[in-house]
DNA sequence: AATTTATTGTGAAACAAGTCACAAAACATG
DNA sequence: CATGTTTTGTGACTTGTTTCACAATAAATT
């Protein structure tokens, strides 16, 4: 048992997501082809970085006339293709859990929240488009939908216990909103979202002259 | 006008936040002093990394008997001290905005959401502990509370326009939840939270063998 | 068809981050 | 109080990432 803190989202992957976002924007504006410096400008990185990233992922452009936006989008989607229509569960249907299950964009990105869980029976009666179930049903749902990834949105104090349950039930990836460093086996992926840290660093940088 | 995408939260700062979190945990468990390898183990980094980080921030320990937890916490807090009781606003009181204004931990970390804003008059009547105001009142509130940082939680389509308003009104730091690369002047800090990207990378890594 | 121009693709160079290795200091022990 | 043990603090080294520089080449122009 050892926690995984090593930043789970590699920088080049993160940039790939950013490129996709920008490309969709360019496409919407009517563009068809794009140069590395356009995309770099938009994504906030250098043109060389863009080309190098594409090079790493074996994405090819056309000398002199740049990249076809559709090809790029297709190539980027191909990198993530196998994971389309992944089923995800949410544990803890409080403020943040409720917001997440109602977030439409997950569906656009082919990530489907199939069920949510809460220990509080009063939450179980309410519905937000998807069922809110008692914890005991988790095993069944995980099996039925082949769920591998869970969003953890329970109070900090319960986060470790709940993570243990998730791992026992066969979950291998956790998007964790609790400000807690989870102890999980080496082969479990944990990505921590710590909004306090994020807000505090924005404040930090607004105060510092850089 | 150029957007800031360079990851706003430096890795060593991020680790400092993690150390703080772990130290609070150790303290709660009754520990008084700690060695770099204990803290590293807990935070998921090497002991050398811990010492190097402290060294960079001029935090000193005691050879042979390690670091006093209270001293460490004090030193880390000192680094962020000047920003205590920073006032923050939230723009867009939908699902995610509502969750955030009710998040207790911001207060624990001395970050105070003083007001929120929404164009929808029906949202303006509701209260979640703090007032939900029409956009026109933003200038007044920013001045009154010397607000520098805003949390942006409006729909993607309105994000750029709203960011422009924020910058015009004197905001210099934005925590942006919309999946949009904001174009802002160079001296404005933007930190993007993209939950789709985060979830998609967790899925990516659970599928890849590493 | 030759020449010019613009852009990709990628090794090499520069830079940044992380790890190693060990001297220096603090404490414990006999 | 000398000796042994442990842990810090940091300079040197290693590894990883980004930028630079330019050859290769596709398209445009003459
Ligand atoms: N609200 C926010 O904006 C926000 C922001 C960032 C992080 N977080 C973190 O996300 C987590 C949830 O925050 P929240 O504001 O939604 O809290 P909340 O109190 O509103 O919701 C927590 C939910 O978890 C359920 N729960 C409690 N123990 C459980 C258990 N053992 N198993 C299953 N369900 C359980 C509760 O019934 C409740 O519905 C916390 O760790 C918090 O620190 C919240
Ligand atoms: N819901 C989530 O879990 C979630 C997760 C990640 C990111 N996001 C992002 O956060 C943003 C908000 O998401 P949401 O789910 O809360 O949406 P929502 O539709 O529930 O809320 C948006 C709110 O913004 C208000 N608004 C619209 N235009 C505005 C404007 N020009 N100025 C001020 N207020 C305006 C609306 O009245 C509404 O109250 C979106 O960009 C979304 O992509 C949401």
Residue ranges of domains in chain A: 11-79, 84-198
Q: How big is chain A, counted in residues?
A: 210
A34: enclosing H helix or E strand: strand A33-34
Q: Is the pLDDT of residue A3 over 60?
A: no
Nearest residue on chain A to B99, alpha-carbon basis: A95
Residues in the ligand 1 pocket, defined by CB under 6 Å: A 91-97, 117-120, 123, 135, 153-156, 158-159, 162, 177-179, 195; B 99-100, 102-103, 105
CATH code for the structural domain at B84-198: 3.40.50.720
Q: CB neighbours (10 Å) of residue A73?
A: 16
pLDDT (0 to 100) of residue B129: 86
Domains B11-79 and B84-198 share a fold: no
3-class secondary structure, A90: strand
A115: enclosing H helix or E strand: strand A111-117
The tens digit of pLDDT for each residue in A132-190 reads 999 999 999 999 999 999 999 999 999 999 999 999 999 999 999 999 999 999 899 99
Q: Is the pLDDT of residue B1 over 70?
A: no
What DSSP letter does each residue of B102-162 carry, written as one string? T-THHHHTTEEEEEEE-S-HHHHH--SSS-EE-GGGHHHHHHHHT--EEEE-S-HHHHHHH
How many Å apart are CA A208 and CA A205, to the nearest integer? 5
pTM: 0.95
* Percent of chain A residues topping a pLDDT of 90: 86
Pairing of strands A67-68, A33-34: antiparallel
What DSSP letter does each residue of A121-181 carry, written as one string? HHHHH--SSS-EE-GGGHHHHHHHHT--EEEE-S-HHHHHHHHHHHHHTT--EEEE-SSS-
Contact B183, B167 (CB under 8 A): no
Residues 6+ apart with CB under 8 A from B12: B53, B56, B57
D chain positions with any atom within 7 Å of a protein CB: 5-11, 17-21, 24-27
3-class secondary structure, B33: strand
The tens digit of pLDDT for each residue in B100-111 reads 999 999 999 999
Residues 6+ apart with CB under 8 A from B105: A179, A196
Q: With a 7 Å cutoff on the CB, does A66 touch strand C?
A: yes
CA distance, residue A187 to nearest chain B CA (Å): 9
pLDDT (0 to 100) of residue B117: 97
Q: With a 7 Å cutoff on the CB, does A46 touch strand D?
A: yes
Report the protein residue whose CA lies nearest the C1' of nucleotide D11.
Answer: B52
How many Å apart are CA A13 and CA B53, to the nearest integer? 26
Contact B13, A204 (CB under 8 A): yes
Q: Is the pLDDT of residue A17 over 70?
A: yes
Q: Which CATH class is domain B11-79?
A: mainly alpha
The tens digit of pLDDT for each residue in B154-189 reads 999 999 999 999 999 999 999 999 999 999 998 999
Residues 78-137 of B with CB under 8 A from A: 80, 82-83, 86, 88, 95-96, 98-100, 102-103, 105-106, 109, 111
């Amino acid at each position: 048992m050892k926690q995984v803190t090593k930043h789970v989202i590699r920088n080049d992957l993160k940039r790939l997501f950013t490129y996709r976002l920008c490309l969709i924007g360019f496409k919407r504006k009517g563009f068809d082809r794009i140069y590395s410096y356009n995309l770099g400008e938009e994504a906030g990185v250098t043109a060389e970085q863009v080309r190098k990233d594409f090079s790493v992922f074996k994405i090819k452009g056309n000398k002199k006339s740049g990249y076809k936006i559709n090809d790029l989008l297709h190539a980027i989607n191909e990198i993530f293709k196998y994971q389309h229509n992944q089923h995800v569960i949410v544990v803890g249907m409080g403020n943040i859990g409720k917001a997440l299950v109602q977030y439409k964009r997950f569906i656009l990105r082919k990530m489907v929240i199939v069920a949510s869980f809460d220990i509080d029976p009063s939450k179980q009666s309410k519905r937000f488009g998807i069922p809110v179930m008692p914890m005991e049903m988790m095993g069944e749902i995980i099996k039925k939908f082949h769920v591998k990834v869970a969003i953890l949105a329970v109070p900090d104090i319960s986060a470790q216990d709940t993570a243990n349950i998730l791992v026992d039930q066969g979950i291998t990836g956790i998007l964790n909103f609790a400000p807690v460093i989870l102890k999980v086996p080496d082969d479990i992926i944990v990505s921590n979202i710590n909004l306090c840290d994020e807000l505090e660093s924005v404040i930090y940088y607004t105060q510092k002259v850089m």
